Amino acid sequence: MDRKVFAALRVAGMDPAHPELLRVPTALGEQGCVVSLDPDLPVPVMDDDGRVVWLPLPSISQLWRGSAVASDFSFAPPPEYEPFFILIEATAAEFCDATGRPERDREFERLYRLLRRRPDSMDANPLFSYLRAAARLYLSLRDVSRAGFEAVANKLRVSARAFSTGSDSTNYHHFVLEEFFYPAGPLSSLGWPGGAP
């Protein structure tokens, strides 16, 4: 946790106690193209009221705290980790909405794997910089061990893989991320090949 980030959000009128109400909005450059977020520059943070503040955030590896063993993520994430998932997936949904196209399931799986294995690295896909920034924001607000962080990133990877039905499928975006913009309640397993994943 980074107390400076916590305080800066309070000064901006945002509630740092509820990271699930925050997201990293997509920055657009010239001609409306998405800009990758430089890990050495401040990150935009937006709340549900549309307020935005740009904050310098430490790297992920600098933010890991403690040596707590990760909870069991085999079925659903434990409730204490839900805000972490919401922040990352809301940021991913925002990115896809800003680009006007859903990212493929296999690409989400690859990016979540990279986030788990090399969280402070770079990638040619600008989406990675937003996923990394969302994780940096969350870890600036809550104490999370390396094992806890890796368990979250791995569960996101497994989720994207579970929705994948082929090299071009975008089911993870459709069934998970679109819920942040178009909530329709619980999803029916009807129409899903073989039932719900």
pTM of the model: 0.87
Exposed, middle or buried by CB within 10 Å (0-12, 13-18, 19+), for 44? middle
Can you give the residue ranges of every domain in the chain?
3-180
pLDDT digits (tens, 9 = 90+) for 17-47: 999 999 999 998 888 889 999 999 999 999 9
**pLDDT recorded at residue 142:** 95
Half-sphere exposure of 89 (CA within 13 A, CB side): 25
Q: What is the pLDDT of residue 193?
A: 35
pLDDT digits (tens, 9 = 90+) for 53-85: 999 999 999 999 988 777 777 777 788 889 999
Q: For residues 151 and 69, what is the distance between their CA atoms, to the nearest angstrom?
A: 9
Question: Any idea of the CA torsion for 154, 158, 164, 170, to the nearest 10 degrees?
Answer: -50
Cβ partners under 8 Å of residue 145, min gap 6: 64, 65, 66, 67, 68, 69, 70
